[in-house]
Amino acid sequence: MALYAGGGVRVVLLCATRGEEGDILNPRMDQPGIKERMPELREAELQTACDLLGVERIYQLGYRDSGMSGTDSNKHPDAFASADAEEAVGRIVEIIRRERPEVVLCYDESKGYDHPDHIKVHEWGTRAYFEAGDASRHPERGEAWRPSKLYYFATFTKSRFMKLHEAALAEGIESPFEKWLEEWDERGFAEPKVTAQIDVSEFIELRSKALLAHATQIDPDSFWFAIPDEIHRKAYPWEDYTLVNSTAPTRDREEDLFEGI
């Protein structure tokens, strides 16, 4: 996001929920009254992160956080995971038609993080991408617009974690990914097909600052920061994506999400 925003691209973010069910994962933020203000704080954290990255607008769908799979919050009438699919897809379609993006990024179906809301964003976001360009679908949501490309984030790849693991060991640092890699196959992680690798080496530190802006969610002393940014830059300076659909000519391995447009 920072790379493209810095190059003059309008970057917007669509967020499904306000994080009502979120846990306080940073001990420094585990203070009286914090849990009760979680939606307000999560929105503020998101805004701070997006300001750092250059995101021009955040669209909040305003559904309630569904919580982790199997919890009572899944059944809340306002939970995103329990929402009416036609309404939710229609609302996403309306935003796509209003913004008229060339490129849409969405969660994949990875088992790396099976939060019900992430799964619904994957399912309904994909539907909205295709239905936004179909004038017969959701005619009340604005003039049809077909984005040029749909990508999924390919965050959980064994090759990425292996390279970071090996780089950490080479620098004499205890790897936070050792157990993950040992249990990778038995956890059933699906290895995504990486079709685009974007060099974000100039934005590694900014990426960390944006992550740390989510203060209730991210502990600065957690394993996410066990490997210094400099090692990330040397060992794996890319972010990975899987091309799902394109109306533009593409290559097997892209270096720019706007290639062919």
CATH number at residue 7: 3.40.50.10320
176 near 226, Cβ under 8 Å? yes
- The mean predicted confidence, pLDDT, of the chain is 94
Q: Is the pLDDT score of 162 beyond 80?
A: yes
Q: Which residues pair with 198 in a beta bridge?
A: 239
Element spanning 57, H or E: strand 57-63
116 and 147 share a domain? yes
Asked if 93 and 147 touch (Cβ cutoff 8 Å), the reply is no
pLDDT of amino acid 191:
85
Q: What is the number of domains present in the chain?
A: 2
> Which secondary structure element, helix H or strand E, spans residue 242, and what is its range?
strand 238-246
- The secondary structure of residue 16, as a DSSP letter, is E
* Interaxial angle between packed helices 204-212 and 38-53, expressed in degrees from 0 to 180 and rounded to the nearest 10: 160
pTM metric for this prediction: 0.94
- Whether 127 maps to a domain, the answer reads yes
The share of the chain scoring above pLDDT 70, in percent, equals: 99
Arithmetic mean of pLDDT, 85-109: 97
Q: What type of residue is 177?
A: F
